Amino acid sequence: MKRLIDLSHALEDGMAAYPGLPSPKIGAFLDHEASRPRYQGQAEFYLGKVEMACNVGTYLDSPFHRYPARADLSQIPLEKVAGVPGIVLDAAVSSHEAIRLNPSAAELHAKAVLIRTGWDQRWGSERYFEPGPYLGREFVELLIQAGAALVGVDFWNVDDTTDLARPAHTRLLGADILIVEHLSNLSALPLSGFRFYAVPPRIVRGASFPVRAFAEAGQ
């Protein structure tokens, strides 16, 4: 039996965003009680309002995030973000350490490559945004050479945040390999045999945006 496995963090009013960005404001434009007069007491509706920077929660980066002339969220083909065959790679790393993995190119080709470190267990604490693991240059080059479709991580940045050149974003997005950061619950996934979904809204000039990332596993 097929099962769906949620891999995203919930968005909440006032939650921590990417360091240096404001927390999201999530509330009502019109709540149930205030809407009743519009319907003469016969119905009531909640109209929500969200104000936020787009790099919050679990989100996908488009090539436009790094390159002004490359594909934005509205131009990403659905087959690159929906039903992508997935593979999980375990990385036993500590804080601020490069991830250096060497799987075969065949394992990575056309795959959603998800890096599982367990860093997501820090979510909601101040420790989450401590200097975390990041993708080593050799591994980034392997992902590109192998033709990976997407790379997702359960920590907060594929790059060493002390490196202002952001080489992982630069190389991956330059090769049209999409990036999903802040994944969660990768511990529930098998190493392979699942399909990955991380579909953002179709936003013209959209660079990054939260997604409801999930996997479909089983027969």
C-alpha span between 15 and 125 (Å, rounded): 11
pTM, 2 dp:
0.95
Q: Which residues of the chain have pLDDT under 50?
A: none
pLDDT of amino acid 124: 93
Domain 3-9+54-217 has CATH 1.20.272.10: no
Domain boundaries in the chain?
Answer: 3-9+54-217, 19-52
SS (H, E, C) 24-92: CEEEEEECHHHHHHHHCCCCCCCEEEEECCCCCCCEEECHHHCCCCCCCHHHCCHHHCCCEEEEEEECC
pLDDT of amino acid 39: 95
pLDDT of amino acid 166: 98
Contact status, residue 80 vs residue 179, Cβ threshold 8 Å: no
